[in-house]
Amino acid sequence: MAEISLARALNRALSDALADDPDVLVYGEDVGALGGVFRVTDGLAAAFGEDRCFDSPLAEAAIVGTAVGMAMYGQRPVVEMQFDAFALPAFEQVVSHVAKMRNRTRGRVELPLVIRVPYGGGIGAVEHHSDSSEAYFTHTPGLRVVTPATPADGYSMLREAIECPDPVVFLEPKRRYWATAELDLPARTEPMDRAVVRRAGGDVTLIAYGPMVATALEAAEAGRREGRDIEVVDLRSLAPFDEETVVSSVRRTGRAVVVHEASTFGGYGAEVAARVTERCFHYLEAPVLRVGGLDIPYPPPKLEEYHLPGVDRILDAVDRLQWESEWVEGSADGRSTRQHTGVGA
């Protein structure tokens, strides 16, 4: 086994896909000779030629638009949006064509394309380079939206995304590009549409994805030293949502906190919290809480540590989950009442 970074695992997945399938193409801004700003495509143009891995103009709508045409004619394009916010100029193509082609043609035309998007903060970059726009994509029916948190998942999920007959938005947590793990490649992990339990626990479930999985695991370890037995669920797939794994965990622990980098208001965590509440209401000991980025445009690099969720903010939410509360019977206005006295209520 060798120490493999997430970036290296993604590079190997692209290389193996290009070698195995002549219909696979890789292109985007600076992905050819430069190998991408994060070097995820390093060496691919030299190995497979400029017909299989090449640079595009600085025109994201054109990148996705041409990928739609290629996929309609049987090729499997893998395109890169250089940074998360750079995907927004291509959003009309994604929503109006990528997401709708199968339904528009009553299933006759598949669209096997992958849109790779480095996303999230934590690398000291500025706005447009640090955004978390997953909610825009997950709100669009017709898209699969996935995000790996480990090198093994990076390899396995990207290979599966490229083999998928439907369009996949592949969100890559760039603050974890250089995180390593010991593994042998090629690797095959759980199917990309399934969540996994990264750490077992019995008191509370932390639900995280992408860059926040490692942070949630750090919080779980810190919580253990404070007497909390914390379970961590890595969603991996944001759309579709693996309700079965999440519900099973929360029904066992009775408490849940959703963690993500994106701004909390209207964020993906709101959907998760709503679904958990709907399916686990009679099992919950406390309301489902969310820990996310502040409801502000992404801050300057020196201030991002205050914007991004960290161990202390996660454990503060865990502490507000009504650990010392109880139900109190009473009466008011001639009616019987039952009130929760929890500190986090």
List active site positions: 129
Instruction: Tell me the three state secondary structure of residue 52.
Output: coil
| Residue the block writes with tokens 């992958």 | 114
Helical (H) or strand (E) element with 291: strand 289-293
- 256 neighbors 225 (Cβ within 8 angstroms): no
> 75: which 2 tokens?
């090729």
Q: How many residues does the chain have?
A: 345
**Alpha-carbon distances of 261 from 120, 131, 190, 229, 231, rounded to whole Å:** 7, 9, 24, 23, 19
What number of CA atoms fall less than 13 Å from residue 336's CA on the CB side? Answer: 2
CB atoms under 10 Å from CB of 329, counted, come to 8
- 298 neighbors 266 (Cβ within 8 angstroms): no
Strands 204-208 and 256-263: parallel
Residue 145 phi, psi dihedral angles, 5° rounding: -125, 115
> 283: which 2 tokens?
């099992």
- 207 neighbors 271 (Cβ within 8 angstroms): no
DSSP β-bridge partners for residue 119: 173
- 195 neighbors 233 (Cβ within 8 angstroms): yes
How far is residue 17's CA from residue 26's CA, in Å, rounded to a whole number? 10
**Alpha-carbon distances of 101 from 36, 45, 79, 98, rounded to whole Å:** 29, 30, 18, 6
Instruction: Tell me the three state secondary structure of residue 344.
Output: coil
DSSP letter (8 states) at residue 303: G
